[in-house]
Structure 1
Amino acid sequence: MSEQKEPKKISGSLKKFFGVGDFGFTLMSNIDTFYASYFFTNIAKFSTGIVAVMTTISAVVDAILSMMYGAFMNKGKAKKWGRYRSWLILTPWLVPFLYAGQFIRIGNGMAAVVFVTLAMITSRIAWNLPYIASISMINVAAKTPEDRMALSSSRSIWTSAASVVYSFVGPAVVSFFASIVGEANSYAATAFVFACLMFAGMYAHFVMFKGYEPTGEEEAAMAAAMQKQVAGQPKVKAMDAVACNPHLIALLISDMLKYVVFFLVNGMAAYYFTYLSGNPGLMTPFMLAANILGIIASYLARHVVGKLGGKNSIILSYIIMAAAGFLAFILRSNTTIVIVLMSILMFFMYISNTADPELYANCAQFSGEKLGYDVTGTVMGLLTVPIKLGIVARGLLISGCLALGAYTSAMADMSYFTEANASELATLQTGVCAGFMIIPAVCVLVGALLLQFGYKLGKNN
Structure 2
Amino acid sequence: MSDFVGDRNSVFTKNEEKTNLVRSQKEGSFKFTFFWAASANGTAQLMSATVATFVSAFMTDVMLIPAALCSLIMLISTAWDAINDPIMGVIADRTSTKWGKYRPWLIPAPILLTLFSVLMWLNPDLPTTGKAVFFLIVYIGYGMTTTMYTMPHVALLPACVQKDEDRNRVIHLGAIFSTLAFSFASSFTTQITAFFENTLGVRNGYVPMMLIYGVLSMVTFWGLFGCSKEKYVVETEKKVSAKEVFKVLGDKAIWPLVIIWLTFFIGYGLNFSSAVYYLTYYMGNPGLITPFFLMNTVTGFISIGILFPIFMKLFRGPHNVFKITLLVSIICYVILFIFGSKSVPLMFALSGFVNLFTTLQFALIQVLINDAIDYTQWKTGHSANGIVASIKGFAQKCGNTITSSGMLAILAVSGYIPNAIGAEPTSAMFAINAMRFGIPVIFAVIQIFCLSKDPAIIYKTEIDAMKMAE
**TM-score normalized with structure 1 length:** 0.81
Partner of 1:421: none
Q: 1-side partners of 2:64 and 2:347: how far apart?
A: 37
Partner of 1:441: 441
Partner of 1:310: 318
Q: 2-side partners of 1:301 and 1:279: how far apart?
A: 33
Task: Confirm or deny that 1:87 pairs with 2:105.
Answer: yes
Higher relative contact order structure (alpha carbons within 8 Å, sequence separation ≥ 6): 2
SS of the residue corresponding to residue 117 of structure 1 reads helix
Preserved contact between residue 24 and residue 194 of structure 1 (Cα < 8 Å): yes
Residue 50 of structure 1 deviates from its aligned partner by: 4.7
Q: Could you say if the C-alpha distance between residues 117 and 407 of structure 1 is closer, same or farther in structure 2, counting changes exceeding 3 Å?
A: closer
Q: 2-side partners of 1:399 and 1:100: how far apart?
A: 23
Give the 5 Å matches for 1:27-66: 27-37=46-56, 39-40=58-59, 46=65, 50-66=69-85
Give the 5 Å matches for 1:26-175: 26-37=45-56, 39-40=58-59, 46=65, 50-74=69-93, 76-104=94-122, 108=126, 113-167=132-186, 169-175=188-194
Preserved contact between residue 70 and residue 377 of structure 1 (Cα < 8 Å): yes
Give the one of 232, 249, 254 matched to 2:260: 254
Preserved contact between residue 266 and residue 399 of structure 2 (Cα < 8 Å): yes
Q: 1-side partners of 2:415 and 2:435: how far apart?
A: 13
Partner of 2:287: 281
Where do 4+ consecutive residues of structure 1 move more than 6 Å? 3-6, 233-236
Q: Could you say if the C-alpha distance between residues 340 and 169 of structure 1 is closer, same or farther in structure 2, counting changes exceeding 3 Å?
A: closer
**Given residue 124 of structure 1, which amino acid in structure 2 is its aligned partner?**
G
Residue 354 of structure 1 deviates from its aligned partner by: 1.0
**Given residue 28 of structure 1, which amino acid in structure 2 is its aligned partner?**
M
Q: Could you say if the C-alpha distance between residues 401 and 56 of structure 1 is closer, same or farther in structure 2, counting changes exceeding 3 Å?
A: closer
Q: Percent same amino acid among aligned pairs?
A: 19
Deviations 1:32-89 (A, max 9, x none): 2344345545665655555444333212111221233222211x23233111122121
Deviations 1:245-269 (A, max 9, x none): 3332111212221222212222333
Deviations 1:207-254 (A, max 9, x none): 332x3448xxxx9xx97xx9xxx47x9988320453243332111212
Partner of 1:13: 31
Q: 2-side partners of 1:403 and 1:44: how far apart?
A: 16
Uncovered stretches (5+) of structure 1, i.e. residues with no partner: 418-423
CA RMSD of aligned residues (A): 3.4
**Given residue 242 of structure 1, which amino acid in structure 2 is its aligned partner?**
V
Q: 2-side partners of 1:234 and 1:205: how far apart?
A: 25
SS of the residue corresponding to residue 103 of structure 2 reads coil
Q: 1-side partners of 2:35 and 2:173: how far apart?
A: 7
Q: 2-side partners of 1:35 and 1:398: how far apart?
A: 13
Deviates more, 1:147-156 or 1:9-18: 9-18
Q: 1-side partners of 2:319 and 2:103: how far apart?
A: 28
Partner of 1:353: 362
Q: 1-side partners of 2:105 and 2:150: how far apart?
A: 9
Partner of 2:308: 301
Deviates more, 1:254-263 or 1:26-35: 26-35
Residue 320 of structure 1 deviates from its aligned partner by: 1.4
Task: Confirm or deny that 1:327 pairs with 2:335.
Answer: yes
SS of the residue corresponding to residue 100 of structure 2 reads coil
**Given residue 99 of structure 1, which amino acid in structure 2 is its aligned partner?**
S
Partner of 1:243: 249
Q: Could you say if the C-alpha distance between residues 191 and 56 of structure 1 is closer, same or farther in structure 2, counting changes exceeding 3 Å?
A: farther
Q: 2-side partners of 1:188 and 1:301: how far apart?
A: 35
Give the one of 205, 225, 233 matched to 1:206: 225
Preserved contact between residue 187 and residue 297 of structure 2 (Cα < 8 Å): no
**TM-score normalized with structure 2 length:** 0.80
Deviations 1:281-329 (A, max 9, x none): 2233222222332222223324433542222221221111111112223
Matched residue count: 434
Q: 1-side partners of 2:418 and 2:31: how far apart?
A: 54
Deviations 1:357-404 (A, max 9, x none): 222212112222322321011112333333322222224553566578
Q: Could you say if the C-alpha distance between residues 234 and 153 of structure 1 is closer, same or farther in structure 2, counting changes exceeding 3 Å?
A: closer
Deviations 1:120-177 (A, max 9, x none): 2223322322222122221112211101110111001011111233345533442344
Deviations 1:389-440 (A, max 9, x none): 2222224553566578x544289242x48xxxxxx64x65544432222221
**Given residue 301 of structure 1, which amino acid in structure 2 is its aligned partner?**
F
Preserved contact between residue 258 and residue 443 of structure 1 (Cα < 8 Å): yes
Q: Could you say if the C-alpha distance between residues 305 and 132 of structure 1 is closer, same or farther in structure 2, counting changes exceeding 3 Å?
A: farther
Q: 1-side partners of 2:375 and 2:122: how far apart?
A: 45
**Given residue 97 of structure 1, which amino acid in structure 2 is its aligned partner?**
L
SS of the residue corresponding to residue 86 of structure 1 reads helix
